[in-house]
Every structure is written in structure tokens, then in C-alpha cells.
Amino acid sequence: MNDQSRLLTNVKAYLFLAPFLLVYGLFMVYPIAKGFIISLHDWSLGMESTFVGFANYSSMFRDSYFWEALWNTLLFVVISTPALIFVGLAIALLVNAGLKGTTFLRSAFFLPFILSISVIASVWVFILQPYTGLLNSFLHTIGFTEEIFWLSDAKLAWVSILLATVWWTVGFNMVLFLAGLQEIPEEFYEAAEMDGASSWKKFMFITLPSLKGVMLLTVVLQTINSFKLFGQPYLMTGGGPGTETRALVQYIYEKGFIEQQMGVASSMSYVLFAITITFAFIQFKFFQGKD
């Protein structure tokens, strides 16, 4: 009887899980496995494929454009992740301070996040483009005559991409931090108040430690998102000037769908996958170690 009812429970559980498992298997597990198989082949859609072992990987490692794109992506991750965490936390603290007009501020900061990347890119191109862009026109009216090429100079292009990314996605981090902040019991601050702690100390010894869980989540999500960089440079600079702002995902896309080298594209995807997983793993370890 007992065994039987347990069996029944299990069967029921799996039946309820089945729709999810089916979709998950079909659209996550299967493509991941298939991607690895493709990466071992000379593969293009609609053509015969031949098994080539690890040849795609070795040709990828010899490709200087691969290294450039990987470097570009890493650079973006290293700069954008802290920037987005820091700004997100700062905005959350501001919004949480209970000033007037907070509801408006909160929506204003979150609004860009609901827009699609094409809208975001159009807005920023409109602002940053030379000769007629909003920013340069403004600079001209206040007497600055030199033309600044925000999107055509490699260094400035990166600054522009970073700026656009922060404006676009920081709202999401803000919401996460805000949720974390609101979970901190008021009593902690009251007790600290009685002990005469300064605001800085309250932030360092109450707020930050209490946010640890949220912080881990945000850092990991942000890192993964930054690795997936594609739309901003693709639409704002086209990866240019030359290939100076081309991220790895864009290169994967070009290899796979323009050059029709699915094998090489898959092997690059696997490298990106491995690096992202490693980073996420390290971050989990790092945060857990502090417990």
C-alpha cells in the first residue's frame, strides 16, 4: 500500500513535470548536445556535413579575429559588470531613501529596460551620431566646434556602448537591490542608531552584509548578460570601426549565418559557454567562501 501510493505520487509528480521537462529537453538539452556535435563537423545548413574532429577548435584558436572578439567581450564584462552593479545599487539606495517623487524615479529608472534593443540603439545613435546628433549639436551651440566621433573612434565607441548598456539595463539591477533592501528589518537600523553608528557604518555593517544573497544573484546574472553582449555594438557601431567593437556573439553570428560555417560557430559558442560557466562558478564559490 505504502509503496504503491509512493509510486502513484511519483508518477503524478512526473506527469505534472512532463510538459516542462519536454520543453526543457527539446529546447535546452537537445540543442546543447547538438551544438557540440555540430562543432565537431564541417557543417552548413542544407549541405552534407563531414566529421572533422577538433579541427574547428584548432582553426578557431589560430584565428586572430576570434581572439579579438573574445578580448572585446572580456573587456566589456570586466568594465560593465561592476559599473552596472555599482550604479544599480546606488540608484536603489536613492529610491529607497523615501524622498519625494520616489515612485516616479523608480519607474523612470526602470523604463528603458522594457524597451527592445533596437529602440535603445536607435535612441543612442540619434544622440551620438556626428554632425546631426543631439549631443554634438548641443556641443556646437555652446561653442565647441570640433566634431567628436562618438561611434567611429574605437575608444569612444566603447564608452558609448557602455553608457547605452547602463542606461538600458541598470533598472533591472535596481529592482533586485530594492527588493533586497526592503527585506532588511528596520530594527537593525534602530539598534545601530542607539549605538550611535554613522550612516556609513550602517551601510557597511548592516546594508551590505544583508544584501549578500541579492548581490550574488545580481553579479552572476550581470556577468552572464555582459558575456552575451551583441545588440548594442551590432546596432550602434556595427562592430566597427573595423572590428574594434565586435563582440564574440556577433562573430559567432557572422561565422554561422553569413559565412555558413556552423561548425566553427558552434565551437566558438562552446568556448563562450565554458568561460561563462567558469565565471559563474567562481563567483558562487567566492561568495560562499565568505560565509
Q: Which residues bind another protein (CB under 8 A)?
A: 8, 11-12, 15-16, 18-19, 22, 44-47, 125, 129-133, 147, 149, 151-153, 238-243, 254, 257-260
What is the C-alpha separation between 81 and 76, in angstroms, rounded? 8
**C-alpha distances in Å from residue 23, one per residue of 17, 27, 30, 38, 246:** 10, 6, 10, 21, 33
- Least distance between another protein and beta carbon 115 (Å): 19
Q: Which residue number, 95 or 236, has a Cβ lying nearer to another protein?
A: 236
Q: Which residue number, 18 or 179, has a Cβ lying nearer to another protein?
A: 18
- Least distance between another protein and beta carbon 9 (Å): 9
CA-based diameter of the chain, in Å?
A: 88
- Least distance between another protein and beta carbon 235 (Å): 11
Q: Which residue number, 177 or 234, has a Cβ lying nearer to another protein?
A: 234
Q: Which residue number, 129 or 267, has a Cβ lying nearer to another protein?
A: 129
Q: Which residue number, 181 or 248, has a Cβ lying nearer to another protein?
A: 248
What is the C-alpha separation between 145 and 20, in angstroms, rounded? 59
Q: Provide the pairing of β-strand 41-42 with 50-51.
A: antiparallel
- Least distance between another protein and beta carbon 5 (Å): 8
Q: Which residue number, 178 or 236, has a Cβ lying nearer to another protein?
A: 236
- Least distance between another protein and beta carbon 119 (Å): 16
Cα 144 to its chain centre, rounded Å, is 35
Axis crossing angle, helix 64-96 with helix 212-227, rounded to the nearest 10: 150
- Cell, residue 225: 548578460
Residue 43: helix, strand or coil by DSSP? coil
**C-alpha distances in Å from residue 15, one per residue of 10, 20, 22, 24, 243:** 8, 10, 11, 14, 50
- Least distance between another protein and beta carbon 116 (Å): 14
What is the C-alpha separation between 44 and 35, in angstroms, rounded? 13
